[in-house]
Structure 1
Amino acid sequence: MIVLGCNGFTRGAGIFAEHFGAVGIDKHYILGHDAGASLLVDGKLVAAVEEERLNREKKTSDFPINSVTWCLEFAGIEFSDVDLIAIPWNFSTEVVNGLLLGLAHTPMKAEAKLDLLGRLGTLIIDALGHDAVLADFAARTGFTPDPDKVVFVPHHLAHAMTGYYSAGLKDSAFLISDGRAELFSSLTGEIRDGKITIFQESAITATDSIGLLFASITRYLGFVPNIDEYKIMGLSGFAEPPTPNPFLEHFIQLHDDGRYTLTVPHDLDDARCYDPLLEQHFGPLQDTVEYRANLASAAQEMLTVVTSHQLRALETKTDLRHLLFEGGVALNCVNNTKLLESSDFTDMDVSFGASDTGVAIGAAVYAWINHPTTAAQPKTPQPITPYLGPEYDDTAIEAALHDFADQIDWHRLGDDELIDQVAKLLTDKVVIGWFEGRIEHGPRALGHRSILANPAFPDIKDVINTRVKHREPFRPFAPIVLESDAPKIFDMGRKTRSPYMTFVFPVQPDFTDVIPGAIHVDGTSRVQTITDDDTPRLAALLRQFTALTDVPCLINTSFNVAGEPIVCTPADAISCFLGTEIDYLVVGNHLVRKRRSDRS
C-alpha cells in the first residue's frame, strides 16, 4: 500500500492575513504551517521533506507541491499508483458543529459573533474543509483524487502517530500539546497495537492553550510567535523563576483529570490579548536581557508545572510506562528532561517530527494502520531515520561548485582524507559548513546540513552567533556526541540516547572545562547522540577529532542564517557559505574554501 501524506493549503495564508490579521510578526499564526509531504510504501517511510526546504520560505503553509512532486519522483511512482492520500487535518461536520457551539457560548456581542462566523466560514469553505482540500490538491497537482481514497486525520492523532512510528510502533501512552488543532490544544491517551484511545476528560480547548500562551509571551518579548519560542527557552537559563510565579498565581488554574484552564481564556481573534496582563504582573516591557530572562524563566516553570500536572493524571489512567510527547510544545527540550525525571514513566520519546513538520508523516501512518485491508495485519517496525529528504550526487555538487567558480576553490578528497583534513581544521577556532547525504527532516539539524565547530573554545558561541548565524548572543549551541560516550560527559538520567536533540542534560563536572562552547549558562547542553548506524561519516569525523584533541564533542547547529530555512541543495550551501564568515565548506567529498581575495 502506498500512502502520500500532505500538509499545507494554497489559500490558507492569504485568508488568515486578510480576515484574521496574520501578517508581520503574526504571519506564522495560521494552520498548515510547516507544510510538507511524506511517502509510506508498505509501512516503510521512504521519503519526507518540508516544503520550506524547497521553496525557501521559512515555515511556509503553502500547498506542498514541490514536496509532493519530489516524494513521487524519488520513489519512481505516479499519482495513479497512490492508494491513499492522508491529510493531517479533519474539519468535519462534527468539528464545524463544535466550532459553532463554542462560538455560541463565547462572551461576545452578537455583531462580533456574526463577523467571526463569516470569517470562519470563509476559512473552512475556501481552505480547510474537505471539499476545499480536494479542490486545492487537484488545482495544484493536476490530479483529481478519488474522495474515497483521501483520509482526513484529526491533527492531534497525526501527531500521535508520528511519535508512535518513530518509536518503533511500541505500545505507548501519549501527551500531545501544541498551539491548537481543530478544536483542542492538548490531548492525552494511549496507543495499543496501533489503536488510539483518547482520554477525553483531559482534553484542553484551544482557548486554554498553553502553546498559544507561550506564543503570546514570545510575541510580547519582541520575537516571532510560532517560530521563536525556543528563544524563550534559551533565555530562561539566565534567571531563576520569580517567587511567587505570576503565571502560576494569575494565569493558570489546575483541575482534576490533568486539565487546566487559563484564568483569561485566549481570545483567538486577538493575538495580543495577554499583553495587558503580562505588563500588569511583570511591569512595563523593557528591552533588557534581565527583564526578558525573568519573564522567560517564569514561563518555563509554568510550562513544566502544567505539563507535569497532565502527566500525573495520565499515569493513573494507563499501565503503559513508555511515553510519547509530541506537538510543538514537545520541542521545549528543557521541559522534556524535567518531565521524564519527575514522572513514573520509564522512558519518553520525542520524535524528530514532533512539531507540525511531522504531521504529514503521522497522517500517512494513521491511514496505513487503520485502512480495512491492513488493519488486521501485523505491523513490523521499520528502521527509523530522520534523513528522508533530497540528496545530491557528485555531478550535481560539481555543477554547483562550477557555478560559483569565480568565488571559491575546492578539492575532491577520498573519505579517509576528507575526515582527516576536516578533523585537523576543527582543532582551531574555525567554523565549517557540513553538507552530506539526504537532508534531515524536522526543525533541528542532525548532521547532514550542519555547521560544526570546536566546543573547547569558550567564545566559539559568540563567533558563530555574530559572524555566521546573525542572531542573539544569548543563544546556546548543541553538542554532538557518540552515544557510547554520552553518559560519561552528560548526566543522562533515565535516557540512554538523544538522537534528535530533544532533551537537555547537565554536563558532568569533569567536562565543564573541556566543552565550554557547548554549555549553556545553566550548565546544561541540548545533546544529539550519534552512532555509526545513524550517520557513519559524522561519527568517523567525531572519533578522529577526539583522537586529535581529547575533546569528545563537536558543536552542531543548523546550516542556515537567521530567518532562512536550513540549506537543501549544494547551491544553497555555497550561497550561505559565501554570505557568512563560515571558514570552510564540506559538500559531499569536496572541501571548499573562499578565494583568497574574498577571505582577506
Structure 2
Amino acid sequence: MIVLGCNGFTRGAEVFADKFGAVGTEKHYILGHDAGAALLVDGKLVAAVEEERLNREKKTSDFPINAVQWCLEKAGIEFSDIDLIAIPWNFSNEVFDATMHDLASAPLPPMEKVDRLARIGELFDKALGREAILADFAARTGFTPDPEKVVFVQHHLAHAMTGYYMAGMKDTAFLISDGRAELFSSLTGEIRDGKIRVFEESIISANDSLGNLFASITRFLGFVPNNDEYKVMGLSGFAEAPSPNPFLEHIVQLHEGGRYSLVRPHDLENPRCFDGLFEKCFGPFQDTLEYKANIAAAAQDMLTAVTSHQLRALESRTDLNHLLFEGGLALNCVNNTQLLEGSRFEDMSVSFGASDTGVVIGAAVHAWANHPDNTAEVKYADTVTPYVGPEYDEATIESTLREFGDRVEYTRIPDGEVADQVAKLLTEKVVIGWFQGRLEHGPRALGHRSILANPKFADIKDVINTRVKHREPFRPFAPIVLESDADKIFEMGRKKRSPYMTFVFPVRPEYHNIIPGATHVDGTSRVQTITDEDTPLLATLLRRFTALTDVPCLINTSFNVAGEPIVCSPADALNCFLGTEIDYLVLGNYLVTKTGQAA
C-alpha cells in the first residue's frame, strides 16, 4: 500500500493575511505552516521533505507541490499508483459547528460576531474545509483524487503517530501539545497495537493553548511568534525564574486531573491580547537582556510546571513506561529533560518531526495503520532515519561547481580521505559548511546539511553568530558526540542517546574548559549523539578530529543564515557559502574555497 502525506494550503496565507492580519511578524500565525509531503510504501518511509527546502520560503504554508512531485519521483511512481492520500487536518462539519457555538457564546457585540463568522466561514470555504482541500490538490497537481481515498486525520493524532512510528511502534503513553489545531491544543493518551486511545478528560481547548501563550511571550519580547520560541528558551539560561512565578500566579491556572486554563481565552483576531498582563506582571517593556531574560526564565519555568502537571495525571492513568512527547512544544529541549527526570517513565522519545514538519509522516502512518487491509501488518518497527530527503550525485555537484566557477575554487578529495582532511582543518578556528548524502527531515540539521566548528574556542560562538548566521549573540550552539562517549562528557540522566537534538544535558565540570564553544551560559548543551550506523562519515570525522585534538565534540548548527531554510541543493549550499564568512565548504567529496583563498 502506498500512502502520500500532504500538508499545506494554496490560499491559506492569503486568507489569513487578508482576514486575520497574518503579515509581517505575524506571518507564521497560520495553519499549514511547515508544509511538506511524505511517502509511505508498505509501511516504510521512503521519502519526505518540507516544501520550504525546495521553494526556499521559510516555514511556507503553500501547497507542497514541489515536495509532492519529488516524493513521487524518488519512488518512481505516479499519482494513479497512490492508494491513500493523508491530510493532517480534519476540519469536519462537527468542527465547524463547534467553532460556531464558541463564537455564539463569546462576550462580543452581535455585529462583531457577524463579522467574525464571515471571516471564519471564508477560511473554511477557501482553505481548510474538505472540499477546499480536495479542490486545491486537484488544481495544483492536475490529479483529481477519489474522495474515498483521501483520509483526513485529526492533527494531534497525526502528531502522536509521528512519534509512535519513529520510536519503533511500541506501546506507549503520549503527550501532544502545540499552538492549536481543529479545536484543541493539547491532549494525552496511549497507543497500544497501533490504536490510539485519547484520555478525553485531558483535552485542552485551543482557547487555553500553552503553545499560543508561549508564542505571545515570544512576540512580546520582540521575536517572531511560531518561529522564534527557541530564542526564548535560549534566553532563559541567562536568569533565574522569579519565585513566585507571575505566569503561574496571574495567567495560567492549574486544575485537577492535569487540566489547566488561561485567565482569558486566546483571541485569534487580537494576538497581543496578553501584552497588558505581561507588563502588569513584569513592568513596562524594556529592550534589555536583563528584562527579556527574566521573562524568558519565568516562561520556561511555567512551561515545565504546566507540562509536569499534565504528566502527573497521565502517570496515574496509564501503566505504560514509555512516553512520547510531540507537537511544537516538544521542541523545547530544556523542558524535555526536566519532564523525563521528574517523571516515573523509564524513557521518553521526542522525534525529529515533533513539530508540524512531521505531521505528513504521522498522517500517512495513521491512514496506513487504520486501513482494514493492514490491521494485521502494523508491527513495522525498523529504524526510521531522518535522512529521507533529496540527495545529489557527484555529477550534479560537479556541474553546479562549474556554474559557480568564477567565484569558487575546488579540489576533489580522494575517496576515503574526506574525514582526515576535514579533521585537520577543524583543528583551527575555522567554520566549515558540511553537505553530505540525503537531506535530513525536521527543523534541525542533523549532520547532512550542517555547519561544523571546533568547540574548544570559547569565542567561536561569536564568530558563527555574527559572521556566519547573522543572528543574536546570545544564541548557543549544539555539540555532536559519539553515542558511546556521551555519558563521559554530559550528565545524561536516564537518556542513553539523543540523536535528534531534542534534549539538553549539563556538561560535566571537567569538560567546561574543553568545549566552551558548545556550552551554554547555564552550563548545559543541546546534544546530538551519533553512531556509525546513523551517520558513518560524520562519526569517522569526529573520531579523527578527537584523535588530533583530544576534544570529543564538534559544534553542529544548521547550514543556513537567519530567516532562510536549511540548504537543500548544491546551489543552495554554494550561495550560502558565498554570502557568509564560512571558511570552507565540503560538498560531497569536494573541498571548496572562495576565489583567491588558499585551500
**TM-score, normalised relative to structure 2:** 0.99
In structure 2, C-alpha distance between the alignment counterparts of 1:173 and 1:257, rounded to whole Å: 16
Q: Secondary structure at the match of 2:434?
A: strand
In structure 2, what is the equivalent of residue 265 of structure 1? 265
Q: Secondary structure at the match of 1:563?
A: coil
**Alpha carbon RMSD of aligned pairs, Å?**
0.9
Q: Secondary structure at the match of 1:485?
A: helix
1:495 maps to amino acid: K
TM-aligned CA deviation for residue 243 of structure 1: 1.6
In structure 2, what is the equivalent of residue 521 of structure 1? 521
2:239 maps to amino acid: A
In structure 1, what is the equivalent of residue 51 of structure 2? 51
In structure 2, C-alpha distance between the alignment counterparts of 1:388 and 1:105, rounded to whole Å: 46
In structure 1, C-alpha distance between the alignment counterparts of 2:336 and 2:295, rounded to whole Å: 20
1:354 maps to amino acid: A
1:243 maps to amino acid: S
In structure 2, C-alpha distance between the alignment counterparts of 1:437 and 1:239, rounded to whole Å: 40
In structure 2, what is the equivalent of residue 443 of structure 1? 443
| Deviant stretches of 4+, over 3 Å | none
Q: Tell me if 1:594 matches 2:594.
A: yes
In structure 1, what is the equivalent of residue 72 of structure 2? 72
In structure 1, what is the equivalent of residue 91 of structure 2? 91
In structure 1, C-alpha distance between the alignment counterparts of 2:425 and 2:254, rounded to whole Å: 53
TM-aligned CA deviation for residue 415 of structure 1: 3.5
Q: Tell me if 1:208 matches 2:212.
A: no
Q: Tell me if 1:157 matches 2:157.
A: yes
2:575 maps to amino acid: S
In structure 1, what is the equivalent of residue 564 of structure 2? 564
Q: Deviations over 1:477-535 (max 9, x none)?
A: 00000000000000000000000000000001111111000000000000000000000
TM-aligned CA deviation for residue 111 of structure 1: 1.1
In structure 2, what is the equivalent of residue 497 of structure 1? 497
In structure 1, what is the equivalent of residue 364 of structure 2? 364
* 2:194–2:378 contact (8 Å) kept in structure 1: no
In structure 1, C-alpha distance between the alignment counterparts of 2:380 and 2:371, rounded to whole Å: 16
In structure 2, what is the equivalent of residue 411 of structure 1? 411
1:55 maps to amino acid: N
In structure 2, C-alpha distance between the alignment counterparts of 1:400 and 1:275, rounded to whole Å: 49
Question: How does 1:182-261 map onto structure 2 within 5 Å?
Answer: 182-261=182-261
In structure 1, C-alpha distance between the alignment counterparts of 2:573 and 2:480, rounded to whole Å: 21
1:34 maps to amino acid: D
Q: Tell me if 1:454 matches 2:451.
A: no
Range with greater deviation from structure 2 (370-379 or 462-471): 370-379
In structure 2, what is the equivalent of residue 298 of structure 1? 298
TM-aligned CA deviation for residue 378 of structure 1: 4.4
TM-aligned CA deviation for residue 28 of structure 1: 0.2
In structure 1, what is the equivalent of residue 18 of structure 2? 18
What is the number of residues matched between the two proteins?
599
TM-aligned CA deviation for residue 264 of structure 1: 1.7
In structure 2, C-alpha distance between the alignment counterparts of 1:266 and 1:533, rounded to whole Å: 45
Q: Secondary structure at the match of 2:108?
A: coil
Q: Deviations over 1:550-598 (max 9, x none)?
A: 000000000000000000000000010000000000000001111116x
1:145 maps to amino acid: P
Range with greater deviation from structure 2 (401-410 or 495-504): 401-410
Structure-2 change in CA distance of 1:432 and 1:114 (3 Å): same
2:74 maps to amino acid: F
Q: Secondary structure at the match of 1:297?
A: helix
Sequence identity (%): 75
Q: Deviations over 1:142-195 (max 9, x none)?
A: 000000000000000000000000000011000000000100000100000000
2:268 maps to amino acid: L
Q: Secondary structure at the match of 2:372?
A: coil
Q: Tell me if 1:105 matches 2:117.
A: no
In structure 2, C-alpha distance between the alignment counterparts of 1:377 and 1:483, rounded to whole Å: 32
2:76 maps to amino acid: G
Q: Secondary structure at the match of 2:422?
A: helix
TM-aligned CA deviation for residue 383 of structure 1: 2.0
Question: How does 1:413-428 map onto structure 2 within 5 Å?
Answer: 413-428=413-428
* 2:7–2:35 contact (8 Å) kept in structure 1: yes
Q: Secondary structure at the match of 1:376?
A: coil
In structure 2, C-alpha distance between the alignment counterparts of 1:378 and 1:326, rounded to whole Å: 21
In structure 2, what is the equivalent of residue 174 of structure 1? 174
Question: How does 1:309-388 map onto structure 2 within 5 Å?
Answer: 309-388=309-388
1:324 maps to amino acid: L
1:547 maps to amino acid: A
In structure 1, C-alpha distance between the alignment counterparts of 2:268 and 2:220, rounded to whole Å: 16
In structure 2, what is the equivalent of residue 480 of structure 1? 480
In structure 2, C-alpha distance between the alignment counterparts of 1:376 and 1:69, rounded to whole Å: 31
1:559 maps to amino acid: F
Q: Deviations over 1:455-489 (max 9, x none)?
A: 00000000000000000000000000000000000
In structure 2, what is the equivalent of residue 135 of structure 1? 135
In structure 1, C-alpha distance between the alignment counterparts of 2:378 and 2:500, rounded to whole Å: 28
In structure 2, what is the equivalent of residue 467 of structure 1? 467
In structure 1, what is the equivalent of residue 289 of structure 2? 289
TM-aligned CA deviation for residue 377 of structure 1: 2.9
Structure 2 alignment gaps of length 5 or more: none
In structure 1, what is the equivalent of residue 116 of structure 2? 116
In structure 2, C-alpha distance between the alignment counterparts of 1:265 and 1:315, rounded to whole Å: 28
TM-aligned CA deviation for residue 24 of structure 1: 0.5
Q: Secondary structure at the match of 1:278?
A: helix
Q: Secondary structure at the match of 1:416?
A: coil
In structure 1, C-alpha distance between the alignment counterparts of 2:199 and 2:97, rounded to whole Å: 21
Q: Deviations over 1:103-138 (max 9, x none)?
A: 122111111111111111100011100000000000
Q: Secondary structure at the match of 1:561?
A: coil
Range with greater deviation from structure 2 (233-242 or 506-515): 506-515
* 2:239–2:294 contact (8 Å) kept in structure 1: yes
Range with greater deviation from structure 2 (18-27 or 412-421): 412-421
In structure 1, C-alpha distance between the alignment counterparts of 2:582 and 2:378, rounded to whole Å: 49
In structure 2, C-alpha distance between the alignment counterparts of 1:111 and 1:198, rounded to whole Å: 37
1:519 maps to amino acid: T
* 2:434–2:450 contact (8 Å) kept in structure 1: yes
Structure 1 alignment gaps of length 5 or more: none
TM-aligned CA deviation for residue 94 of structure 1: 1.3
**TM-score, normalised relative to structure 1:** 0.99
TM-aligned CA deviation for residue 257 of structure 1: 1.3
Q: Secondary structure at the match of 2:497?
A: coil
1:80 maps to amino acid: S
In structure 2, C-alpha distance between the alignment counterparts of 1:380 and 1:31, rounded to whole Å: 31
In structure 2, C-alpha distance between the alignment counterparts of 1:254 and 1:110, rounded to whole Å: 32
Q: Tell me if 1:537 matches 2:564.
A: no
TM-aligned CA deviation for residue 93 of structure 1: 1.2
Q: Secondary structure at the match of 2:432?
A: strand
TM-aligned CA deviation for residue 376 of structure 1: 3.0
In structure 2, C-alpha distance between the alignment counterparts of 1:417 and 1:181, rounded to whole Å: 49
* 2:162–2:354 contact (8 Å) kept in structure 1: yes
Q: Deviations over 1:48-69 (max 9, x none)?
A: 0000000000000000000000
* 2:369–2:378 contact (8 Å) kept in structure 1: no
In structure 2, C-alpha distance between the alignment counterparts of 1:104 and 1:200, rounded to whole Å: 24
In structure 1, C-alpha distance between the alignment counterparts of 2:589 and 2:215, rounded to whole Å: 41
Range with greater deviation from structure 2 (268-277 or 567-576): 268-277
In structure 1, C-alpha distance between the alignment counterparts of 2:268 and 2:136, rounded to whole Å: 26
TM-aligned CA deviation for residue 37 of structure 1: 0.1
